[in-house]
């Protein structure tokens, strides 16, 4: 079986998109943010993911986001772009656009809204595996979309060389162990990425190749150091760093409506992120100001202000 020669590993950032005072994409600030992330050692970029609020942008805006990110990255790191749309044909069209923009691969989440059976999930990704012109990573986020179970991942990995990996945001370590055991023997090149920040160290320890974490958009230095420390075999230090990451992650993820906390975090690192397209009440705005103060204190304590 022919497989892709491209391997995606390390810390990838599912970053947010800065908006201007009229709610439009702030392209200059987005490009500046991307370059800043790369300069701080991330291994790749992950635009149009859940943290990137992909559902709050139009199709044309999503295309433009990928273009801006790929241009700003300039080939320094790979871009794995979200390509999820409402149906198979539109998703394949998004895959084509991502390839044209310069992405190395795409991430495709299971169909949203309708809760599908494993066989229907397989059928959906089968069409993408057959027709995508670019490498595909599966995106399993069962709290928001139809789950992709272990037998389905194995089946897709075995049948479609174009499907090269999976990002799993379940945070379920036992599930990841089963997934790696089922797929790695038949596809040694298959990439396993964890998407749950508070499980980064244990997920790397059981065999994940890297992670895509929202907190990497706030503290890329910390997640990169965790990755390097685990790879060096120093799990004691890695676990100490994991506790720091979790202490930062918890208030960000628990903030008024995900992913708003990560907008606050990016602003604390000096970026003009603008207001979310999701309206906020006065109470939520007050909570946001309190969170900003807390996050700045945490970043100061980590030496990342």
Active site members? 139, 167
CB-based burial of residue 204 (10 Å sphere; 0-12 exposed, 13-18 middle, 19+ buried)?
buried
d(CA 140, CA 192): 11
Nearest to 166, CA basis, from 106, 220, 217: 106
Q: Label the pairing between strands 163-168 and 191-194.
A: parallel
Output the six-digit token pair for 198.
């508070």
d(CA 227, CA 41): 11
Other Cβ atoms closer than 10 A to 256: 18
Distant-in-sequence, close-in-space partners of 182: CB < 8 Å, separation ≥ 6: 150, 151, 153, 154
Phi-psi region of 74 (alpha: psi -120 to 50; beta: other; left: phi over 0): left
Half-sphere exposure of 274 (CA within 13 A, CB side): 17
Task: Considering only CA atoms, give the Rg of the chain.
Answer: 18
What is 196-212 written as a DSSP string?
Answer: -GGGHHHHHHTT--EEE
d(CA 170, CA 148): 10
């Amino acid at each position: 079986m022919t497989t892709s020669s491209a391997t995606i590993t390390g810390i990838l950032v599912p970053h947010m998109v800065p908006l201007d005072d009229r709610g439009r994409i702030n392209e200059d600030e987005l490009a500046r943010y991307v370059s800043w992330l790369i300069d701080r050692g991330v291994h790749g970029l992950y635009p149009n993911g859940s943290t990137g609020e992909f559902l709050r942008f139009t199709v044309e805006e999503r295309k433009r986001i990928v273009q801006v990110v790929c241009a700003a990255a300039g080939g320094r790191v790979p871009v794995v772009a979200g390509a999820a749309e409402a149906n198979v044909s539109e998703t394949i069209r998004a895959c084509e656009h991502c390839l044209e923009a310069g992405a190395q691969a795409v991430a495709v989440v299971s169909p949203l809204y309708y809760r599908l059976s494993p066989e229907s999930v397989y059928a959906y990704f089968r069409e993408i595996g057959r027709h995508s012109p670019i490498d595909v990573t599966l995106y399993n986020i069962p709290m928001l979309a139809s789950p992709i179970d272990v037998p389905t991942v194995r089946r897709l990995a075995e049948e479609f060389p174009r499907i090269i990996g999976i990002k799993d945001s379940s945070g379920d370590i036992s599930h990841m162990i089963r997934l790696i055991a089922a797929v790695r023997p038949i596809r040694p090149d298959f990439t396993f990425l964890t998407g749950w920040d508070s499980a980064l160290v244990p997920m790397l320890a059981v065999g994940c190749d890297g992670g895509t974490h929202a907190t990497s958009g706030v503290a890329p230095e910390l997640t990169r150091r965790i990755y390097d420390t685990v790879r060096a075999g120093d799990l004691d230090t890695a676990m100490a760093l994991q506790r720091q990451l979790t202490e930062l992650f918890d208030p960000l993820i628990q903030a008024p409506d995900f992913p708003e906390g990560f907008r606050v975090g990016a602003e604390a690192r000096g970026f003009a992120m603008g207001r979310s397209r999701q309206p906020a009440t006065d109470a939520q705005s007050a909570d946001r100001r309190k969170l900003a103060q807390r996050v700045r204190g945490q970043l100061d304590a980590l030496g990342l202000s």
